[in-house]
């Protein structure tokens, strides 16, 4: 049992990798709770804790996703978060929810969550959902009421209501604030804008086409 066998070395490597992977989600909290002081000017990773004496059950409570969100927008879908911004008690706990409502035909357009894996549970209706791996493989499926589908952390994904009635899902995230980058809005609606020549070259198209797409993503005045 002197020197370690290749199997033991592999095992050690795997354990090391597992520790590394589990340390790459939101960090574990070092105390019972740390209710976010959202008005503090202090900049840290997350939010500073408010005075423990001022903590109440309201800090852990929300009715913000009790009712369907309004879907009369460009894409016919609305994401309503139940995260640290609305439930300050979630600060440092590494978890949050959202509900997403979809009009018939509504699309939650391709986007990524840089800080979280997402698991959706279909509350009502039917959806076509999918995500893309870094090898550009599309993993997609149709899901209906009661079904669960997972979108791995950081990967581009979408959901579309292909039914004739409204649909909705409950989303769970392993981050107090998963963050969202919607590809269309990020690339074509940023401030200041990404230069036309960058986008034209990236998408192998003309500046005219880029300008046309950009016009669809201008912030509504
Ligand atoms: C969406 O519907 C609500 C309620 O009917 C209305 O107040 C709002 O102005 C509508 N928004 C748009 C963008 O049409």
Q: What domains are there in the chain, each with its CATH number? A: 57-179 (2.60.120.10), 189-217 (no CATH)
pLDDT confidence band for 8 (50 / 70 / 90): low
User: Model pTM?
Assistant: 0.86
- Distance, in Å, from the CA atom of 32 to the CA atom of 13, rounded to the nearest integer, reads 32
72 pocket-lining for ligand 1 (C-beta < 6 Å): yes
Query: Which of 23-27, 119-123, 172-176, 207-211 bottoms out in mean pLDDT, i.e. has the lowest?
Result: 23-27
How many other C-beta atoms can be found within 10 angstroms of the C-beta atom of residue 125? 21
- Distance, in Å, from the CA atom of 21 to the CA atom of 15, rounded to the nearest integer, reads 10
70 pocket-lining for ligand 1 (C-beta < 6 Å): yes
For residue 73, the ligand 1 atom closest to its alpha carbon is 13
Which H/E stretch holds residue 142? Answer: strand 138-144
pLDDT in tens, 78-132: 999 999 999 999 999 999 999 999 999 999 999 999 999 999 999 999 999 999 9
| Minimal-distance CA residue to ligand 1 atom 12 | 72
pLDDT value at residue 21: 47
| Minimal-distance CA residue to ligand 1 atom 9 | 72
- Distance, in Å, from the CA atom of 17 to the CA atom of 9, rounded to the nearest integer, reads 12
């Amino acid at each position: 049992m002197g020197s370690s066998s290749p199997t033991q070395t592999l095992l050690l490597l795997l354990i090391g990798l597992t520790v590394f992977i589990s340390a790459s989600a939101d960090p574990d909290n070092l105390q019972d709770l740390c209710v976010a002081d959202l008005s503090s000017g202090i900049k840290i990773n997350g939010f500073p804790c408010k005075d423990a004496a001022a903590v109440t059950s309201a800090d852990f409570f929300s009715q913000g996703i009790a009712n369907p969100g309004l879907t009369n927008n460009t894409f016919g879908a609305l994401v309503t978060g139940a995260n640290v911004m609305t439930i300050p008690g979630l600060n440092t706990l590494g978890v949050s929810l959202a509900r997403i409502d979809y009009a018939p035909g509504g699309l939650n357009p391709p986007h990524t969550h840089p800080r979280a894996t997402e698991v959706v549970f279909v509350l009502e209706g039917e959806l076509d959902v999918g995500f893309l791996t870094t090898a550009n493989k599309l993993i997609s499926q149709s899901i209906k009421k009661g079904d669960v589908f997972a979108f791995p952390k950081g990967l581009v994904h979408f959901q579309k209501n292909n039914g004739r009635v409204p649909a909705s899902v409950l989303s769970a995230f392993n981050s107090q604030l998963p963050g969202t980058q919607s590809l269309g809005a990020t690339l074509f609606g940023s401030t200041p804008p990404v230069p036309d020549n960058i986008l034209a070259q990236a998408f192998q198209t003309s500046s005219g086409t880029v300008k046309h797409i950009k016009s669809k993503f201008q912030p509504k005045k």
